[in-house]
Amino acid sequence: MTSTLTVDNVINGFEHPMIAPIRTEPNYETIHSVQKRLNSNAASVHSYRGGGIHRHLGAIISSTRYVVIIPVPFVAPTNPGRTATLPADTPPEARAMLERNYAANAKEFQAYNTLQRDLNQQIINTFDSPYLQGLEYDVVAFANLSARK
Amino acid sequence: MMVLLFDTYGGITHNDLVYNKKKLAEPFEPAQPIESFSRTIKNTVDYTDAGHTPFGVNQIIAQTYTHLFNSGVLLDACEKWKWRKAGTT
């Protein structure tokens, strides 16, 4: 199943919307099993990046692991800023194109962040909190961590 | 977060990585399902990746090709692969 990424509804499109909680101390096997489910989830959400075939898989695995699967690097979208940059003397047609590009980039960036947030939430829900406390930052908790790192 | 979890709780040691790399060198047993062989390769690649010592793409392909060729059961497919157009998989 694949889903189109929207800001509000990512997790419902996941192949594994629920991941069974792990109530013991994590080890390689349990973390790896969760990683595989997160991979499936990221790969069930549409993206044109990294060749497009594996959708958002590149958002959750390493770049070296990704190029083993497909030789096109997955480059995460970057923040396009609050507004489109439009020089004062931009002709109307070019202005319209820049605004469309900005809107598309902003939507993709926002959606990518939503995906990261939902994957993070799945990780937090899967592992018991004592095992995650060491990874948490005082002020922002897990907000400055991507699902990968 | 997953990298931090692997680093903190994965328990991946240098010896484990050495042992794991040897697993990639284990020959393909034709009596076993090809899925089992494929799974072993994927798990080995995942493990080295989690341990921050990933295999290179060419290394994985060369090792896998060698195992399949040496098994003698997929010679036609190996021959096609050998003569495939450069840059394709």
Structure tokens given for A23: 């109530």
Interface mutation target, options B2, B4, B16, B52, chain A, most CBs of A under 10 Å: B2
Rounded to an integer, what distance in angstroms lies between the CA atom of residue A89 and that of residue B71?
68
Residue A118 buriedness (CB in 10 A; 0-12 / 13-18 / 19+): buried
Q: How confident is the model at residue B45, as a pLDDT?
A: 95
Q: What are A50-108's pLDDT values in tens digits?
A: 999 999 999 999 999 999 999 999 999 999 999 998 888 989 999 999 999 999 999 99
Q: Does B34 touch chain A (CB under 8 A)?
A: no
Q: Does A34 touch chain B (CB under 8 A)?
A: yes
Question: Are the CB atoms for B25 and B63 separated by under 8 Å?
Answer: yes
* A94 against A149, higher pLDDT: A94
pLDDT bucket at A122, cuts 50 / 70 / 90: very high
Q: Does B37 touch chain A (CB under 8 A)?
A: no
pLDDT bucket at B42, cuts 50 / 70 / 90: very high
Query: Would you say residue B10 has pLDDT above 80?
Result: yes
Q: Do B10 and A61 touch (CB under 8 A)?
A: no
Q: How confident is the model at residue A1, as a pLDDT?
A: 53
Interface mutation target, options B5, B16, B52, B64, chain A, most CBs of A under 10 Å: B5
Note the helical H segments in chain B: 2-9, 14-24, 34-50, 57-71, 75-82
When the pLDDT of each residue in chain A is averaged and rounded to a whole number, the result is 89
Q: How confident is the model at residue B86, as a pLDDT?
A: 64
In chain A, which residue's Cα lies nearest the Cα of B89?
Answer: A70
Query: Would you say residue A112 has pLDDT above 90?
Result: yes
Give the CA radius of gyration of chain A: 18
Query: Would you say residue A47 has pLDDT above 60?
Result: yes
- With vertex at residue A146, the alpha carbon angle to CA A119 and CA B4, rounded to the nearest 5 degrees, is 100
Mean of the pLDDT values across residues B67-85?
Answer: 87
Name residue A50's amino acid: G
Chain B positions touching A64 (Cβ under 8 A) are: 49, 54
Chain A positions touching B39 (Cβ under 8 A) are: none
Q: How confident is the model at residue A142, as a pLDDT?
A: 79
Mind giving me the DSSP string for A87-142?
Answer: -TT--HHHHHHHHHHHHHHHHHHHHHHHHHHHHHHHHHHHB-HHHHGGG-BTTTBT
Beta bridge partners of A141: A137
Closest CA to A120 of A33, A28, A112: A112
Q: Write the DSSP symbol of residue A147.
A: S
Determine how many CB atoms are found less than 10 A away from the CB of residue A67. Answer: 17
Mean of the pLDDT values across residues A113-139?
Answer: 88
Structure tokens given for A5: 């990424």
Share of chain A above pLDDT 70, in %: 92
Option in B1, B50, B55 nearest A135 (CB): B1
Q: How confident is the model at residue B85, as a pLDDT?
A: 66
Rounded to an integer, what distance in angstroms lies between the CA atom of residue A54 and that of residue A42?
9
Chain A positions touching B20 (Cβ under 8 A) are: none
Structure tokens given for A54: 């594996």
Q: Write the DSSP symbol of residue A96.
A: H
Option in A64, A135, A149 nearest B54 (CB): A64
Share of chain A above pLDDT 90, in %: 74
In chain A, which residue's Cα lies nearest the Cα of B59?
Answer: A68
